[in-house]
């Protein structure tokens, strides 16, 4: 951090402490809500979502060759293959908008093109198969189907637009990378590397498996078994690490994972605090912005209502699956189905904490472009869906 940035940080903290009227009851409640939200986030997501994601990102940085990433996800890779894989990744990874960040940073810094990387960034939390099923079951099959189709289309279209805008500079970087050459592959076979990464991903999936709303059915059965399955996977991973890896490789893996944690966690925590202060925890009315204001602005199916739903959804933080009961409550309060879809398409994929981290990876200009695309397309999709039904 540069000296002027440190000074700006100190001045900002001082002004906040000096000017915020903490004695105001609404500010007191919102401040407490912010720290409650941070506490819930730490308990429910850091250990079982983010830490596995950091280790996967570290593994990508160390054990996936840059040549392989460029071959399948680079600017010159086969577009059909790269976007197809990236746009449906969320059906496997049941992650939220924050948990997907280390994985996105890992593949992007390894050489993936901006298009496939952003398609993966959007689809990771947006095309969560559990959330799609829950949406169809609770909010109706129309919203469930529209969410699934819209999210896949969004991932591809947003990725292609980002590639069209920023692809030329990445092509230059890729050419430079080929001239410099790539590091040598590890001594492990492709099968062992595949099993290693598959085990890491399965640990992330089962450790973060959310409890279904109903205590019956296949998903609840899996939930009852998710910890035994996770412990078995951890034992398998331990065997792989002992038998297949050298000590210096393990040290590099841990170091890379820690680098991602240092980059992402502070910004996430700041963003969670800000989101909690502004809008409160999901399902509560404790933020400085009253929930009644939001529900009163998203009734009907006007462009304005869809835009507000998209914009507010892009700022809110939704833990995996929590967006469904929240929107169920908003629908009961008069929210239109078009704005509901707009929020479903923008909310899970974006959040204030998510934006701060994306900026640190992509830079301000690319991050703003991504945010505008998500909000704009969600607004249009919500408006069209509201008119159709």
Mean pLDDT in runs of 10 for the chain (389 residues)? 75 84 84 84 75 79 64 69 72 62 78 82 74 72 88 89 79 43 51 84 80 76 88 92 87 85 75 75 73 74 91 77 68 80 87 84 90 94 90
| SS3 at position 27 | helix
Handedness of CA 33, 39, 40, 41 (dihedral sign): positive
Element (H, E) at 149: helix 141-180
Residue 39 lies in a domain: no
Residue 3 lies in a domain: no
Helices (H) and strands (E) in the chain, counts: 18, 0
pLDDT given at position 176: 38
Of 269, 285, 283, 271, nearest to 29 (Cα)? 285
Whether the Cβ atoms of residue 58 and residue 94 lie closer than 8 Å to each other = no
Residue 260 lies in a domain: yes
pLDDT given at position 173: 46
If one counts every other C-beta atom within 10 angstroms of the C-beta of residue 305, the result is 22
Q: What is the CA radius of gyration of the chain?
A: 21
Question: Rounded CA gap, 380 and 154, in Å?
Answer: 11
Residue 9 lies in a domain: no
Tokens of 327: 């929107």
Residue 195 lies in a domain: yes
Number of domains in the chain: 1
If one counts every other C-beta atom within 10 angstroms of the C-beta of residue 190, the result is 9
pLDDT given at position 75: 64
Tokens of 30: 């919102």
Residue 37 lies in a domain: no
pTM higher than 0.85: no
Q: What's the start-to-end Cα distance of the chain, in Å?
A: 51
Residue 92 lies in a domain: yes
101 is in which domain, residue-wise? 45-178+187-388
Tokens of 92: 């496997």
Residue 33 lies in a domain: no
* DSSP state, residue 89: G
């Amino acid at each position: 951090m540069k000296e002027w940035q440190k000074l700006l940080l100190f001045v900002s903290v001082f002004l906040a402490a000096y000017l915020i009227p903490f004695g105001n009851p609404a500010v007191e409640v919102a401040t407490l809500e912010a720290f409650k939200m941070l506490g819930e986030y730490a308990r429910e997501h850091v250990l079982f979502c983010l830490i596995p994601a950091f280790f996967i990102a570290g593994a990508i940085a160390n054990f996936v060759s840059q040549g392989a990433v460029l071959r399948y996800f680079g600017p010159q890779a086969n577009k059909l293959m790269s976007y197809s894989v990236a746009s449906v990744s969320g059906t496997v990874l049941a992650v939220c908008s924050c948990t997907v960040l280390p994985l996105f940073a890992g593949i992007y810094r390894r050489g993936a093109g901006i298009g496939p990387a952003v398609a993966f960034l959007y689809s990771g939390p947006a095309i969560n198969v559990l959330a799609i099923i829950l949406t169809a079951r609770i909010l109706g099959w129309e919203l469930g189907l529209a969410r699934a189709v819209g999210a896949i289309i969004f991932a591809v279209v947003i990725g292609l637009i980002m590639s069209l805008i920023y692809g030329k500079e990445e092509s230059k970087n890729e050419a430079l990378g080929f001239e410099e050459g790539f590091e040598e592959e590890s001594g492990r076979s492709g099968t062992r590397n595949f099993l290693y990464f598959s085990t890491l991903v399965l640990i992330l999936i089962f450790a973060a498996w959310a409890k279904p709303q109903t205590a019956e059915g296949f998903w609840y059965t899996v939930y009852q078994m998710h910890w035994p399955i996770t412990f078995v996977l951890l034992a398998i991973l331990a065997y792989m690490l002992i038998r297949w890896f050298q000590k210096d490789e393990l040290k590099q893996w841990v170091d890379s994972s820690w680098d991602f944690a240092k980059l992402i966690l502070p910004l996430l925590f700041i963003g969670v605090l800000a989101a909690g202060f502004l809008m409160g925890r999901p399902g509560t009315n404790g933020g400085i912005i009253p929930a009644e204001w939001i529900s009163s602005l998203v009734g009907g199916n006007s462009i304005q209502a869809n835009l507000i739903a998209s914009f507010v959804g892009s700022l809110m933080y939704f833990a995996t699956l929590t967006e469904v009961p929240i929107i169920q409550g908003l629908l009961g309060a008069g929210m239109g189905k078009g704005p509901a879809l707009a929020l479903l398409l923008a909310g899970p994929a974006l959040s204030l904490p998510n934006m701060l981290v994306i900026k640190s990876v992509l830079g301000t200009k690319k991050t703003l472009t991504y945010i505008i695309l998500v909000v704009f397309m969600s607004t249009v999709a919500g408006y069209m869906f509201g008119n159709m039904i």
